[in-house]
Amino acid sequence: MSSSPRNRSSSTITVVVVAFVLIALAALAVVSGTGQAFVTGLYPPVAVTEQGAKVRDLYTIVFALAVVIFVLVEGLIIWTVIRYRRKPGDDMLPAQTHGNNVAELAWTIIPTIIVAFLFVISWQTLNEVDATSASAQTRIRAVAGQFQWQFDYLADDGQTVQYTQQLATGDGGGLYVPAGRNIQLSLTSQDVIHAFYVPQFLFKRDVVPGRVNKFDFKVDAADAGQTFRGQCAELCGAGHRLMLFEVHALAPADFDAWLADAIANASATPPPAPSGPATPSGQPAPSGQAAGPTLQVSAQNIAYEQSSLEAPAGTPFSIEFDNKDAGVPHNVSIHKDSASGEEVFKGDIFPGPAQKTYDVPPLPAGTYAFVCSVHPNMTGTLTVK
Amino acid sequence: MATTTLTPAATTYQTGLYAWLTTTDHKKIGIMYLINSFVFFFIAGIMALGVRTELAQPGLQFFTDLQYNELFSMHATFMIFVFIIPILAGFANYVVPLQIGAPDMAFPRINALSFWMLPLAGIILLLGFVTGGTAAAGWTSYPPLSEDRPLAAIGAGQDLWIVGLVLIGTSSILGAINFLVTIFKMRAPGMTLFRMPILVWTVLVTSVLVLMATPVITSALIMLFIDRNYGGSFFDPRVGGDPILYQNIFWFYSHPAVYVMILPAMGMISEILPVFSRKPLFGYKAFIFATAGIGALGFSVWAHHMFTTGAVYLPFFSLMTFLIAVPTGVKMFNWIFTLWRGKLSLNPPLLFALGFLSMFLIGGIDGAFSASVPVDFALHDTYWVVAHLHYVLFGGSVFGVMAGFYFYFPKMTGRMLNETVGKLQFVVMFIGFNLTFFPMHELGLAGMPRRIADYSSTAGWNDLNLLATIGGFTIAASMALFLWNVFVSLRSGAIAGDDPWEGNTLEWATTSPPPPYNFDHLPEIRSERPLFDVRHGRTAAH
Amino acid sequence: MTADSHALVTAEHTPIAGLSHDRRGGISNPVLGMLLFITSEVMFFGGLFAAYFSVRANAATWPPEEFHGTLQIFPLVGPATVLLILSSFTCQFAVWGIRRDDRTAFLRSMTVTVILGITFLLMQGTDYTALGSEGLTLSSGTFGTTYYTLTGFHGAHVFGGVIMLSVVLYRGMAGQFSARHHDAVEGASLYWHFVDVVWILLFSLLYLLPGR
């Protein structure tokens, strides 16, 4: 007497549903650009490494199979729903088919063959992608911590550090690599689990404390001069989203020059003196007090404890910087107008817990931002007047 | 022939609060499971809206990083442990004794205990919000991050989380024991194992999984607790521990757990499709073997969550993961061919079941991508995984729950849910769901990692994130429709009668709602569709 | 709401199996329930054992230098093991006793079992104190953490078993068991045997397996 199926035929609802879905898909196409963009979006980015290209080829095959299977099965569902809707008033039972063993065998055996095929081609690609060789031409160690990346360029023995790249992003920062050469990257963590992920490599690998993971990659020679973004991909705490890095691919000769330069600069710089400003003119700093006031700045938990500072215009002044974060590198740098403005001062980067005094040269009056070069989210306002 | 029945004048339930608090009746307990689960579903849903609101546009607008981490960690924790696993146990609690012709579960008092541990655990989990912060290391709580070392950014909330989960695990294990003894020992005469409804079979397999897997995560959680509070060295590498050990033990449970989260929903789908197609389930026995196969294989794939750690034997886990697609496909085809050449009535239970089939198909295909290790290297820990897990758990399990809810609400309350509102809820939910989660495939492919409170405005992810947020609020709207339907129908829905859907199985052979101890007499049981047989003259008495 | 719409055929007159023993015989509900519970406990210990094996396999030397010779079978742990094994025997005597309706034998054997169980716990506790004074604690690296976690959780299960057996003993003294009705005795004894087997395994791994 109540709503038994025989009283409830809804022929219009299917049409309405289908219409809604199509409208939604159209809306999706509009919002995310053209329909073309939608399809492209279903693909990973174009790979810039040899290994990544192989993964992308594999993806193409998996994707093609996925589309075919989806269209077939979903099509079957939709067609069945439209074709076999009960007509109002039809009380006859349909044929009470209990099953069909041939069908069961078919849709057991065929999918098994398909997945076996997918497994085999995946395994083949894996062997190519995951191979680490003893003959890597460039060895780099990525050191992940909460919340920054640091890259150690290693000598051929894989142990001696020739140069440490302290900044992962920004001016002069990032992972510089030679395109066209085989690079071996080893991954170490200072604290919790992180992950090294470059979307354009179509690759990521966890950075696990207590373990050293290694992988090889070779950026295509054609991609020399490009920069790729990278990011930590394993939740590592409150600063997880901040652990960005850039990969700069250089032509081999450019890379060799860059590295030699970096090594030279690193050894030429005197060991960080308590009061050694990095003036652009390279003038030796007057040791001893600066004439102006001393500002106190401290950093803890990847944040400055001060949000605004004031300094007099036209007078050199000092910043006493207390880095309270154990094992985490910080500094204080000053940028014109805002954190993304031109850098006018950069203090030495050092890990805590430690203190350093920076001597800052005179600045014209105006608004500035003080920023940590390693963690650009750490910022505050400096008013000079 | 004369029949004496125990038909009461009004509902058979004592309505007093005391009666509900002290009941050991599986039907009341089942309903309480449903209510408790939905309460936490909405709490977790609001957390999800918080996540989506923050991600709608680049820039950290509403929450701090730590608060955001707490939001998604607790969203997942509540959804998995206090919503989907218990609600399916609740449906099983209500329906299984009825479907096998039993008067109650084997251990009614333990049944009550299993239930009451859940609101307690839910409250313990919520307490984190008022004691300085909940767990914020993801629902997976990987050490060393979850051991607060070195940055003590997470406080006692992680310990409350551990306690809550151990409570819930105990509740589940006791429930599994109850289901297994009930199913093995309390079936009505004539109901052999291979005449049991598929829902009972899926509950059986689920209960085996719960029994064997849940204690393993209990051990992982206890080891984590010891590390955190007693200076233990299980997982901290600085004192000789191994973070990967945690992942192995954790996922040994958490992978079978996903089958715990879907099999009973698949069981309900398998009851609904035959009723609304007016033909039997296609391939009943094959279905059972496929379910058992999934349960067994499910124990062999756990390390596919750890492909990028560099610490697992990749080919084995990749192969087993691919293989599990086979029994899943068998079930999919059996469902479709149940519909094939049937006579379909597009009522809400069937609509939600169709939504289940389509969305679970996508979620399953997503899984095939992740099973391919090199592809997983690109997709792991990105929004691709968020898309995949929501297609199977929301598109699959939640649509299955909605199907089961619309199907069984009449039996539980004696009233029908409103059909039109139900159909509208389906359409809005379907659209909202796809708007939210389909773009996440693209976001993951483009490189957006999981578990980030904010993203760079120049990464190209802005539009899709905004779209996903719009979808999220659309889902919320569909839930408002759902709640409205429930409350209005409880008061003034059409009277259902014993068997509003022309069901096949024994639960429809008694009143709606059933009396205490369920049946005054049982029909003859000669097949997996006892009521169908009676209705169409296939019993000896006719 | 009437049931006329049923027009159902009454099934053969068998009570819908609500009893823990039904006419079809076989294992009783509580005993099946206990066996399933023990299965879950096996998996719990499985997780802990897996951690132990992993930790031990990854260690360069085991036991670590500072704990060479700390774990001693005598004077406490070895004899305690013997007592626990003995208690399984006495527990089984109790079960056999009640099965043949010999309440006296049942009560006597069960009492001895409970006493032996408590003695095991006391000896374990004393051993813990001795080990603690030698510097082995939960926070003594992987060796200490695994030792105390494994034996500690086993001890907790022994404690639970003692409680269970004491309740059974109390109920037995109150005359609640007979040859026909003693499911709780069967169930508790199965649990007790399980606890004993786990200890034999644990003892072998921790004390008998040669290190490196």
CATH of the domain at C80: 1.20.120.80
Residue with tokens 């200072």: A190
Q: Is the minimum CB–CB distance between A191 and chain B shorter than 8 Å?
A: yes
What ipTM describes this predicted complex?
Answer: 0.93
Q: What is the residue range of A236's domain?
A: 138-268
Instruction: Please count the structural domains in chain A.
Output: 3
Asked if A236 and B153 touch (Cβ cutoff 8 Å), the reply is no
Interface test with C, best of B98, B204, B219 (most C CBs within 10 A): B219
pLDDT string in tens for chain A (385-residue length) = 344 444 344 545 666 677 677 777 777 766 665 566 777 889 999 999 999 999 999 999 999 999 999 999 999 999 999 999 999 999 899 999 999 999 999 999 999 999 999 999 999 999 998 887 777 789 999 999 989 999 999 998 888 999 999 999 988 899 999 999 999 999 999 999 999 999 999 999 999 999 999 999 999 999 999 999 999 999 999 999 999 999 999 999 999 999 999 999 887 755 554 444 444 444 444 445 556 789 999 999 888 999 999 999 999 999 999 999 988 899 999 999 988 889 999 999 999 899 999 999 999 999 999 999 999 889 999 999 8
| Share of residues in chain C with pLDDT > 90 (%) | 79
Q: Which amino acid is at B102?
A: A
Domain presence at residue A68: yes
Domain presence at residue C19: no
Tokens of C157: 């299960």
Looking at beta carbons, which residues of chain B come within 8 Å of C46?
215-216, 219
Helix, coil or strand: residue C78 = helix
Q: What is the mean pLDDT of residues B206-218?
A: 98
Query: Same domain, yes or no, for A24 and A112?
Result: yes
Looking at beta carbons, which residues of chain C come within 8 Å of B181?
29, 32-33, 36
Domain presence at residue C29: no
Q: Please indicate whether, in this complex, the C-beta atoms of C145 and B176 are within 8 angstroms of each other.
A: no
Domain presence at residue C58: yes
pLDDT digits (tens, 9 = 90+) for C187-211: 999 999 999 999 999 999 999 988 8
Interface test with B, best of C2, C22, C48, C153 (most B CBs within 10 A): C48
Query: Same domain, yes or no, for A42 and A119?
Result: yes
For B459: left if phi > 0, alpha if psi spans -120 to 50, otherwise beta; the answer is alpha
Tell me how crowded residue B64 is: count the other CB atoms within 10 A of its CB: 11
Distance CA B208, CA B296 (A): 10
Tell me how crowded residue A271 is: count the other CB atoms within 10 A of its CB: 6
Q: Please indicate whether, in this complex, the C-beta atoms of B211 and C43 are within 8 angstroms of each other.
A: yes
Looking at beta carbons, which residues of chain A come within 8 Å of B382?
233
Q: Please indicate whether, in this complex, the C-beta atoms of B534 and C9 are within 8 angstroms of each other.
A: yes
Residue A197 vs residues A128, A171, B132, B481: alpha-carbon distances, Å? 19, 21, 32, 42
| Å between C15 CA and nearest CA of chain B | 9
DSSP string, B478-496: HHHHHHHHHHHHHHHPPB-
For helices B383-392 and B348-371, the axis angle rounded to 10 degrees is 140
Domain presence at residue A74: yes
Domain presence at residue A109: yes
Domain presence at residue A287: no
Query: Same domain, yes or no, for A125 and A142?
Result: no
Q: Is the minimum CB–CB distance between A13 and chain B shorter than 8 Å?
A: yes
Q: Is the minimum CB–CB distance between B309 and chain C shorter than 8 Å?
A: no
pLDDT digits (tens, 9 = 90+) for C173-189: 999 999 989 999 999 99
| Å between A290 CA and nearest CA of chain B | 36
Domain presence at residue C10: no
Distance CA C138, CA B229 (A): 10
Looking at beta carbons, which residues of chain B come within 8 Å of C43?
211-216
Query: Same domain, yes or no, for A310 and A338?
Result: yes
Burial class (CB in 10 A: 0-12, 13-18, 19+), B105: buried
Query: Same domain, yes or no, for A58 and A83?
Result: yes
Q: Where are the beta strands (DSSP E) in A55-167?
A: 138-145, 148-154, 161-165
Q: How large is the greatest C-alpha to C-alpha distance in chain C, in angstroms?
A: 81
Nearest 5°: the CA angle A370, A373, A378 is 55
Distance CA C130, CA B230 (A): 19
Residue among A45, A90, A123 minimizing CB distance to B315 = A123
> What number of residues does chain B have?
542
Q: CA of A231: which chain B residue's CA is closest?
A: B449
Distance CA B1, CA C44 (A): 55
Query: Same domain, yes or no, for A256 and A307?
Result: no
Residue ranges and CATH numbers for the domains of chain B are 29-535 (1.20.210.10)
Looking at beta carbons, which residues of chain C come within 8 Å of B240?
55, 59, 141-142
Domain presence at residue A169: yes
pTM (whole model) above 0.80: yes
Residue among B188, B220, B232 minimizing CB distance to C139 = B232
Q: What is the residue range of C96's domain?
A: 45-208
Q: Is the minimum CB–CB distance between B537 and chain C shorter than 8 Å?
A: no
CATH of the domain at A325: 2.60.40.420
Domain presence at residue A66: yes
Q: Which amino acid is at B146?
A: S
Domain presence at residue C131: yes
DSSP string, B69-112: HHHHHHHHHIIIIIIIHHHHHHHHHHHHHHHTT-SS-S-HHHHH
DSSP at C4 = T
DSSP at A202 = T
Asked if B292 and B330 touch (Cβ cutoff 8 Å), the reply is no
pLDDT value at residue C15: 40
Q: Please indicate whether, in this complex, the C-beta atoms of B226 and C36 are within 8 angstroms of each other.
A: no
Q: 126-185 in B: which are within 8 Å (CB) of C?
A: 173, 176-178, 180-181, 184-185
Query: Same domain, yes or no, for A78 and A157?
Result: no
Residue among C29, C138, C149 minimizing CB distance to B181 = C29
pLDDT value at residue A37: 72
Would strands A333-336 and A366-371 be described as parallel, antiparallel, or unpaired? antiparallel
Domain presence at residue A196: yes
Query: Same domain, yes or no, for A156 and A206?
Result: yes
Helix, coil or strand: residue A245 = strand
Burial class (CB in 10 A: 0-12, 13-18, 19+), A156: exposed
> What number of residues does chain C have?
212
Asked if B322 and A116 touch (Cβ cutoff 8 Å), the reply is yes
Q: Please indicate whether, in this complex, the C-beta atoms of B239 and C44 are within 8 angstroms of each other.
A: no
Domain presence at residue C182: yes
Would strands A308-311 and A379-384 be described as parallel, antiparallel, or unpaired? parallel
In terms of Cα–Cα distance, which of C45, C30, C1 is closest to C183? C30
| Å between C138 CA and nearest CA of chain B | 6
Looking at beta carbons, which residues of chain A come within 8 Å of B475?
none
Residue among A4, A84, A96 minimizing CB distance to B500 = A4
Q: How many CA atoms lie within 13 A of C90 on its CB side?
A: 18
A119 Cα distance to chain centroid: 28
Query: Same domain, yes or no, for A124 and A51?
Result: yes
pLDDT digits (tens, 9 = 90+) for A65-87: 999 999 999 999 999 999 999 99
Would strands A203-207 and A183-189 be described as parallel, antiparallel, or unpaired? unpaired
Residue among B106, B213, B525 minimizing CB distance to C29 = B106
Query: Same domain, yes or no, for A74 and A166?
Result: no
Q: Please indicate whether, in this complex, the C-beta atoms of C43 and B177 are within 8 angstroms of each other.
A: no
Domain presence at residue C13: no
Q: Is the minimum CB–CB distance between B373 and chain A shorter than 8 Å?
A: yes
Q: Domain boundary at A268, A286, A315, which?
A: A268
Distance CA C28, CA B186 (A): 11
Asked if B20 and B28 touch (Cβ cutoff 8 Å), the reply is yes
Distance CA C158, CA C165 (A): 10
pLDDT level of residue C133 (50, 70, 90 thresholds): very high
Query: Same domain, yes or no, for A358 and A318?
Result: yes
Instruction: Please count the structural domains in chain C.
Output: 1
Distance CA A156, CA C100 (A): 81
pLDDT digits (tens, 9 = 90+) for C85-113: 999 999 999 999 999 999 999 999 999 99
Domain presence at residue C193: yes
Distance CA B26, CA B227 (A): 39
Looking at beta carbons, which residues of chain C come within 8 Å of B211?
36, 39-40, 43
Say which residues have a Cβ less than 8 Å from residue A342's Cβ, sequence separation at least 6: A335, A336
Q: Is the minimum CB–CB distance between A129 and chain B shorter than 8 Å?
A: yes
pLDDT digits (tens, 9 = 90+) for B490-520: 999 999 999 999 999 999 999 999 998 899 8
Query: Same domain, yes or no, for A338 and A261?
Result: no
